[in-house]
Amino acid sequence: MKYKNILFDLDGTLVDSSQGTVESIVYATEKMKWPTPGDATLRAFIGPPLLESFIKLGKSQAEAEQAVKYYREYYQEKGMYENTVYPQIPATLKALVQAGVSLYVATSKPEYFAKQIIQHIDMASYFTGVYGASMDNRRSQKGDVIHYGLTKAAIQAETSVTMMVGDRSHDIVGAKANDLSSVGVLYGFGDRQELAKAGAAHIIAQPSELLTLF
């Protein structure tokens, strides 16, 4: 078997989280009395670290931190439950586990929320570990989250047989920073150009295509 471990991004890779994320952003911007971002900007929020995305709106560190607090108000109550599992994901995860592959989640979303979401969508049985960002933003960059996950899972010595799967460039860049191979997925929120430019080793259109890499 070429790979024995796979780390999956969450938003845009396992679940379509656009509704919950967008509603949470709109709530935060309304509380901050900012104009509501356009559709393209709202879509760009899905995946990357949240604080970084608010700063890219031209806001100060302090403003962005307050916006994150408002975002989490809505997200914790409603937003994290407003997501849909992508077709083929359950069957693909089941087949990988049956093939002896250990599966993990590595997400820029706070770990506290990520664990609840995985339970809510009834997928906890597939994953050996769920790793995410810290609530204080000290661990928010994807490379740091992946390093943390590899260490917590005690597989940091198995980089040659470990793969990262994600839909955005930061997933691919984070994988490279940890000497992991990577797979970019086209059914999420990134596109082929973004994933190829970031250096994805493989790019797939459907989750089931992962099974062809083994």
Degrees to nearest 5, angle at CA 200 with 196 and 205: 80
Residues whose CB is less than 8 angstroms from the CB of residue 151 and which lie 6 or more positions away in sequence, other chains included = none
Residue 136 annotated as catalytic: no
Residue with tokens 């990520």: 114
Biggest distance spanned by C-alpha atoms of the chain: 53
State the Cα–Cα distance between residues 65 and 117, nearest whole angstrom: 23
Name the amino acid, one letter, at 44.
Answer: A
Name the amino acid, one letter, at 188.
Answer: G
Q: Which of 9, 11, 144, 167 is catalytic?
A: 9
**What is the DSSP track for 28-59?**
HHHHTTPPPPPHHHHHHTSSS-HHHHHHTTT-
Residues recognised as catalytic: 9
